[in-house]
Structure 1
């Protein structure tokens, strides 16, 4: 059985997702519809009644996924604009924006609330973060570059994409994650030491 169901209905969910997501106005109407459908499908397949209940991570369960996604999208767009201005990098918003908005689309399926916190779901023990989101995006017909970047963006992925968009996502995601950790009194990535 698939870990999610594609949900093209749920008009109240579609409206909530459209009101939440930053950057939808930067992509074509067809792509906007697909992005919203991806988030509605993840939400409808998750245990969460509201978008606000979805945690960014069990390590910072009080930081909402909603905030992280918009933080990453805003930061990524700013970084891409800076790269274009300073280095002449070309920005394709039809590729970059969906990657930024959808990079964590599988998190509603990977975490569950318990005792006021959050923990990993059974599904999180079966497939790594990014892969489930990539499966969903592939089923919805997203371009390979978007699917592969979402699949390999996690810091613990065995390899990472080499595209401009993957590079921008990496720094925007870690910048936002560190903000979330510091907000919740946790050690940010840049202060963690590996042995």
Structure 2
């Protein structure tokens, strides 16, 4: 593989499918909405997945789909953002927080493939850490540094994490949704794991 992804700006059936799928697009300006959709269309078109429904959340036997996780994280993150705004007297720019929530796992279609009913590691998984590829894609699409850096460093095993409040909200929304996924898959939720 010479390039991990290509930018797909065409107006096609994938674009409509992504728009129909993603929760939270109505919180964005038309320009930002277009960029967010283009990021997901590009990741999907560059992946081995024929359908959005085929994209796994993680490797292994996995009934929990990536598309469900992304919407779960976005809903939880918007709720957490509203709670933080009320309790901490801070404001979140929806043009920053919402893209971070929706795009945090935009590289998973590229790092996870599917064999039968199981998610598997794609070759790219062994070349670059989760988040970094998404950050590269978002940088190429012209997203703001805060969005790029938060997506690039959000993985729990990243060597460091963003210090902005949006990264804080994403972290807990992502773990909340991930623990739900692990329960559905019959696996131990992250909060019950020791010595990760």
Q: Provide TM-score, normalisation by structure 1.
A: 0.98
Taking the aligned partners of 2:101 and 2:124, their CA distance within structure 1 comes to: 23
Cα RMSD over matched residues?
1.0
Map 1:85-96 to 2 at 5 A: 85-96=86-97
2:55 aligns to what?
54
Q: How big is the shift at 1:10?
A: 4.5
SS at match of 1:161: coil
Structure 2: gaps spanning 5 or more residues: none
- Tell me the TM-score normalised to structure 2 length: 0.97
Question: 1:120 and 2:124 equivalent?
Answer: no
- Tell me the alpha carbon deviations over residues 25-60 of structure 1, each in whole angstroms, 9 at most, x when there is no partner: 101100000000000000000000100000001156
Q: Distance in 2 between matches of 1:116 and 1:170?
A: 28
In 2, Cα distance between equivalents of 1:193 and 1:161: 24
Can you give the 5+ residue segments of structure 1 that lack an aligned partner in the other structure?
none
Aligned to 1:13: 14
Is the partner of 1:55 in helix, strand or coil? coil
| 1:69 CA displacement | 0.1
- 1:140-171 deviation digits (Å, cap 9, x = unpaired): 00000000000000000000000000000000
Q: 1:53–1:146: structure 2 CA closer, same or farther, 3 Å change rule?
A: same
Moved over 2 A (4+): none
In structure 1, the partner of 2:82 is: 81
Contact 2:70/2:101, CA 8 A, preserved across alignment? yes
Aligned residue-pair number = 195
Matched, 1:33 2:34: yes
